[in-house]
């Protein structure tokens, strides 16, 4: 998972925690994602699905997990102060989106109606996944649920995570084999918990501060209730938990706080939860409940991790792969919120329940620069070489939709299918995808197109350097001169 070493983190600020009324001197951190980078990435077969014409595409700005102490935990968990994560009993997760986005309505799953626009025309769906133990060897998802998560969809945005999980991502829908024993093991995300905006449970309105029409609108605050916080589904087969949505699940009923700032034009989604069972007692206004295997009589990260540790040794089947490294672990390793590592995948819904796809993704985090194909910390010539070599290896093979060796790899079955290398989302991987790295004809990398780029092209051509292969034909000929000239004139 990405953490302090793999993701740029900046000091916590009042601008991020807009609802904070008092802040301690604790040094906390926040994940930052570029504003304005939301791009629609549909997932339906055939490409017939439509999103609401007035929808604001969810665009993550920041994410933070902190130790938190509310002033009045049982009556107002959202007003309080940041505290040292080590030893904290309560945590606060806060996600900031650009613009006005709405709480997610149900999507016709698990006996619920199809009502995505219950709270407005711009519902936000997706998953903020948390690795509380900071280990890539534990946690993740199995079967169909893995296909709607970060590891299975980050490649739709033309980037690969920098950490070792980058080697495990699905690079196309052809990797969706629902078999954790085969590679790439996109099921192994390292995620233990998720802030889950999936539209897969009942959602009820708890409180609205606004005009009272039941819609979340500019300048308003709304609290909704649902199964929004859940332990990763990959643990279910090995779990002895009861009281959740199904046996083995640990997904209690919780509340989410949505608030829109008209001055910043941002929506802040806040979740306050229990690190320990003592913290749950504070939030519920009760005594501390016992740690047990029930999700419906009090819950906490402490209780959920304790059950994972006790269940790991007896796990069998595919779930054993995800849970076994919890065996013999120290519970304290998982109870510091500002050390939890996070990924994010968000999007919106389709207007039609019967479209063959649940979500149209719009943003992914964090700092996954488009074109980062090799998963290192920079984007440049090495990535361009990776793209070129992939076309050479794939063009004309059964993985090429047109089956013709012509310098173009056609991504078939779009938009359900995708390719990490289709950087401009055209449905084809070709030399034009190199434009994501800047002007394709800028061969001397000085930021300008001049006669020196012509000289550089000539030198590459004469030396047999495949950077001169501008049409990706794997041969250097007159057509490369023409392709270079076209790129220069773009």
Indicate whether 15 pLDDT > 50.
no
Nearest to 272 by CA among 284, 256, 288: 256
Q: pLDDT band at residue 4, thresholds of 50, 70 and 90?
A: very low
First to last CA, the chain: 39
More confident residue, 160 or 22: 160
Residue 84, Ramachandran bin (φ over 0: left; ψ between -120 and 50: alpha; else beta): beta
d(CA 320, CA 187): 13
d(CA 96, CA 94): 7
pLDDT tens-place string over residues 287-330: 999 999 999 999 999 999 999 999 999 999 999 999 999 999 99
Tell me the pLDDT of the chain averaged across its residues: 90
Indicate whether 85 pLDDT > 70.
yes
What is residue 23's predicted lDDT score, i.e. its pLDDT?
36
pLDDT tens-place string over residues 338-347: 999 999 999 9
Indicate whether 34 pLDDT > 70.
yes
Mean pLDDT score, 471-477: 90
Indicate whether 10 pLDDT > 90.
no
Q: Which of 8-22, 196-210, 349-363 has the lowest mean pLDDT?
A: 8-22
What is residue 279's predicted lDDT score, i.e. its pLDDT?
98
pLDDT tens-place string over residues 424-455: 989 999 999 998 998 888 888 888 888 888 89
What is residue 233's predicted lDDT score, i.e. its pLDDT?
94
Which residues have a Cβ under 8 Å from the Cβ of 363 and sit 6 or more positions away? 33, 37, 38, 39, 57, 58, 59, 60, 157, 344, 345, 346, 347
d(CA 17, CA 81): 10
Q: Which of 7-11, 259-263, 430-434, 458-462 has the lowest mean pLDDT?
A: 7-11
CB-based burial label for 235 (10 Å; 0-12, 13-18, 19+): buried
What is residue 429's predicted lDDT score, i.e. its pLDDT?
95
For the chain, how many residues are written?
Answer: 490
Q: At which residue do the structure tokens 């070792």 appear?
A: 164
Nearest to 256 by CA among 83, 402, 119: 119
What is residue 22's predicted lDDT score, i.e. its pLDDT?
36
Beta-carbon count within 10 A of 48 CB: 13
- Which phi and psi angles does 221 have, rounded to 5°? -125, 140
Nearest to 63 by CA among 126, 143, 119: 126
d(CA 363, CA 296): 33
Indicate whether 20 pLDDT > 60.
no
Mean pLDDT score, 367-388: 88
Task: Name the residue ranges covered by the structural domains of the chain.
Answer: 9-149+189-365, 438-490
Pairing of strands 341-349, 125-131: antiparallel
Mean pLDDT score, 404-424: 94
d(CA 392, CA 90): 53
More confident residue, 97 or 2: 97
Q: Are 140 and 324 in contact (CB under 8 A)?
A: no
Q: pLDDT band at residue 46, thresholds of 50, 70 and 90?
A: confident
d(CA 240, CA 232): 14
Mean pLDDT score, 74-79: 97
Please give the structure tokens belonging to residue 219: 């300048």
Mean pLDDT score, 34-45: 94
Indicate whether 480 pLDDT > 50.
yes
Q: Are 68 and 272 in contact (CB under 8 A)?
A: yes
Q: Which residues pair with 256 in a beta bridge?
A: 224
Please give the structure tokens belonging to residue 357: 């796809």
Which residues have a Cβ under 8 Å from the Cβ of 273 and sit 6 or more positions away? 90, 91, 93, 229, 254, 279, 283, 300, 301
What is residue 450's predicted lDDT score, i.e. its pLDDT?
85
């Amino acid at each position: 998972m990405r953490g302090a070493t793999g993701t740029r983190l900046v000091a916590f600020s009042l601008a991020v925690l807009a609802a904070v009324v008092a802040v301690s001197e604790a040094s906390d951190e926040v994940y930052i994602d570029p504003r304005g980078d939301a791009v629609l990435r549909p997932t339906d077969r055939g490409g017939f699905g439509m999103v609401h014409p007035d929808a604001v595409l969810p665009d993550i700005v920041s994410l933070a997990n902190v130790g938190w102490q509310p002033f009045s935990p049982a009556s107002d968990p959202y007003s309080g102060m940041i505290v040292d994560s080590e030893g904290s009993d309560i945590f606060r997760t806060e996600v900031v989106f650009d613009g006005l986005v709405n709480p997610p309505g149900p999507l016709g799953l698990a006996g619920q109606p199809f009502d995505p626009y219950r709270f407005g025309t711009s519902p936000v769906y997706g998953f903020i996944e948390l690795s509380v133990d900071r280990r890539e060897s534990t946690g993740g998802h199995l079967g169909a649920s893995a296909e709607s998560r970060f590891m299975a969809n980050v490649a739709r945005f033309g980037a690969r995570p920098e950490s070792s999980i980058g080697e495990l991502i699905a690079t196309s829908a052809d990797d969706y084999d629902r078999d954790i024993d085969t590679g790439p093991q996109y099921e192994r995300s390292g995620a233990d918990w998720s802030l889950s905006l999936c539209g897969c449970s009942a959602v009820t309105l708890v409180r609205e501060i606004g005009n009272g029409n039941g819609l979340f609108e500019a300048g308003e605050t709304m609290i909704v209730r649902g199964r929004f916080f859940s332990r990763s589904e990959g643990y279910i087969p090995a779990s002895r938990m009861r009281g959740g949505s199904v046996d083995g699940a640990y997904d209690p009923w919780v509340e989410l706080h949505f608030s829109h700032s008209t001055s910043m034009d941002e929506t802040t989604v806040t979740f306050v939860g229990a690190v320990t069972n003592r913290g749950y007692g504070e939030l519920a206004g009760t005594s501390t409940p016992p740690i047990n295997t029930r999700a419906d009589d009090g819950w906490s990260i402490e209780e959920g991790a304790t059950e994972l540790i006790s269940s790991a040794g007896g796990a069998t089947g595919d779930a054993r792969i995800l849970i076994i490294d919890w065996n013999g672990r120290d519970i304290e390793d998982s109870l510091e919120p500002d050390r939890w590592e996070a990924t994010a995948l968000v999007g919106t819904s389709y207007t039609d329940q019967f479209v063959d796809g649940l979500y149209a993704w719009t943003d992914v985090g964090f700092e996954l620069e488009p074109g980062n194909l090799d998963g290192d910390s920079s984007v440049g010539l090495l990535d361009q070489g990776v793209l070129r070599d992939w076309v050479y290896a794939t063009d004309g093979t059964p993985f090429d939709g047109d089956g013709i060796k012509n310098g173009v790899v056609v991504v078939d079955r779009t938009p359900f299918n995708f390719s990490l290398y289709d950087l401009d989302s055209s449905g084809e991987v070709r030399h034009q995808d190199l434009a994501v790295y800047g002007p394709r004809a800028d061969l001397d990398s000085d930021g300008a197109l001049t006669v020196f780029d012509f000289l550089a092209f000539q030198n590459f051509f004469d030396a047999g350097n495949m950077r001169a292969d501008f049409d990706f034909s794997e041969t250097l000929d007159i057509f490369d001169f023409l392709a270079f000239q076209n790129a220069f004139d773009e």
